[in-house]
Amino acid sequence: MVAMIYLDYAATTPLAPEVLTAMQPYLTDVFANPASDHGPGRKAKKAVEGARAQVAALIGATPEEIIWTSGATEANNLAIKGALEFRGVDNAHIVTSKTEHKCVLDTCRHLESVYGARGLRVTYLKPGPEGCVTAQQVIDALTPQTVLVSLMWVSNELGTINEVEQLALLLRERGVLLHVDAVQAAGKLVIDLATTPIDLLSLSAHKIYGPKGIGALFVRKRPRARVAPQLHGGGHEQGMRSGTLAPHQSVGMGAAFALAATRLADDATRISALRDRLWMRLQALPRLHRNGSGAAAPHILNVSFEGVEGEALRAMLPALAVSSGSACSSATREPSYVLRALGRSDALANASLRFSLGRSTTEAEIDAAARQLIDAVLWLRDISGDAAGSVAAPTSDNVFDYPTPLWTQFLEAAGNSGEFAAGTADVVTVKVENRASASWLALHLRVAEGRVVDARFTAFGCPVGIAVGHWLAVWAIGKTAAELHALTTAELRRVLEIPDDKLHCALMGEDALQSIAIPQAQTR
């Protein structure tokens, strides 16, 4: 078993030891409700307010401008829905981008569906090829009815930095509210809201070594930004967010933000060097595409690998915890909407990986990850006939729990992949495609006296499609055309234990067999 290399810090980070130490008393001893007017309650409230000040300090805000939430998703909802509902939804206009986090896009679409009949509309900007939305793009999209602009500071998929600092000044001049999702920026970039006139800004604890389940929304006091509450109850958090606060979570977020303030410069320097090292190592592969070439935060690298299928690539990397732009769980799949907005093809979007680095990432891990990636890509390209020469067979753990017969065939696939040498006599080749899953399978059969005497295959697709190709190439040897045609999808599924969501791979195998026609001159 190869040691796991964690490169998914943009998804979540481990709890920092200092943060755990700070939280522990509030999980056991200081357990009172911070809204209670007695000694224990006041002690809990004091801890919550101290944490609020720590969060504010990292971003150049004042403590009273920090509103606790359950996380960035709630903060984004409160900012966007709250701002629109407070200002009025009739004929309101919002500007955002196509590459925002889903919680922003879904919130905007919800507002369109609910208030569209009352004239509310949303403009979704497309980033440039470098992966950034410019301030000028936003300004050009404004109308007299524009109430709010919502734009992330750092792309959670690409790591690219949008021009929010320049934009904030321009929108302030025009009296338009600016909401910024700063989840991937906090603790990575310098944020100073004392000088950058952002009105609303969303934060999350677990992206910078704090606990899950807590976030915050910065709501500017001067000039005052106003939002309508989305949770109603006891009027907590200045009436903007009702609900009993969890002191241990607030303390954890405060400690994480205080720690980030002391480490920001050193972390950025070290982690950006590791990101550049990974990119340099990966460039040993041809046909590599870096997604997002603009100014970038230090911790994210997004790469597409031409000539491989995304699910198969992930399956070949059991020791790497990375985020993927692919999901071949059925005959249809949804490539990364961020990469498609960037102009990447579905094939490249599906064969993309986001690497996000953190405090614990080492040079040795970066080098090991690069080696594993290069080996996996070359092996998969070899299976599809898209690489020169052969690549060593993988020793990959079945971390995605494919059925054992399928996984065994997948790992052995290189044994008979490829085509026969040019000029080889009596070769019959058939190739079938499944356009919905963007996969294909080709069988290359050498026949004599009406039977298959040797067989090979090439394939592009998920591990199941590759396993089907390998099994068929082995099974076909010695068979007549009639015997090849007789194999059914049901039998193929039974032998390889192909699950329902991979039925299209079995159908592709049967289609290939049904397409085989041995010339009459060879069936004498």
Rounded-to-integer distance, Cα 160 and Cα 152, Å: 10
Which amino acid, residue 171? L
Using DSSP bridges, classify how beta strands 215-219 and 288-290 pair: parallel, antiparallel or unpaired.
unpaired
Ramachandran class of 89: left when φ > 0, alpha when ψ lies in -120 to 50, beta otherwise: alpha
Neighbours of 437 (CB within 10 A): 24
Using the structure block, give the residue that is written with the tokens 């045609």.
485
Provide the pairing of β-strand 146-152 with 93-97: parallel
CA pair distance 7, 9, nearest whole angstrom: 6
For helices 489-496 and 404-411, the axis angle rounded to 10 degrees is 90
CB of 83 within 8 A of CB of 126? Answer: no
Q: Which of 153, 154, 147 is nearest to 228 (CA)?
A: 147
For tokens 């130490």, the residue is 21
Name the strand (E) or helix (H) holding 281. helix 247-282
Give the end-to-end CA distance of the chain in Å, rounded to a whole number. 53
Quickly list DSSP for 380-437: HHHHTT-SSS--PPP----TT---HHHHHHHHTGGGGBS-PPTT-SSEEEEEEEETTT
Distance separating alpha carbons of residues 317 and 313, to the nearest angstrom: 7
Calculate ∠ Cα 186-217-63, nearest 5°.
85
Q: Where are the alpha helices (DSSP H) in 88-162?
A: 102-115, 135-141
Identified catalytic residue from 132, 328, 462, 505: 328
Active site residue 328: yes
Please give the structure tokens belonging to residue 289.
């595409």
Euclidean distance between CA atoms 182 and 442, whole angstroms: 48
Given CA atoms 50, 203, 147, 109 in this order, what sign does their dihedral have?
negative
Tokens read off for 392: 């060593």
Cβ-Cβ contacts under 8 Å for 120 (sequence gap 6 or more): 84, 89, 90, 91, 92, 93, 94, 111, 112
- Closest Cα to residue 253, out of 480, 67, 454? 67
Contact criterion met (CB below 8 Å) for 469 and 312 = no
CA distance 485 to 490: 13
Catalytic residues: 328
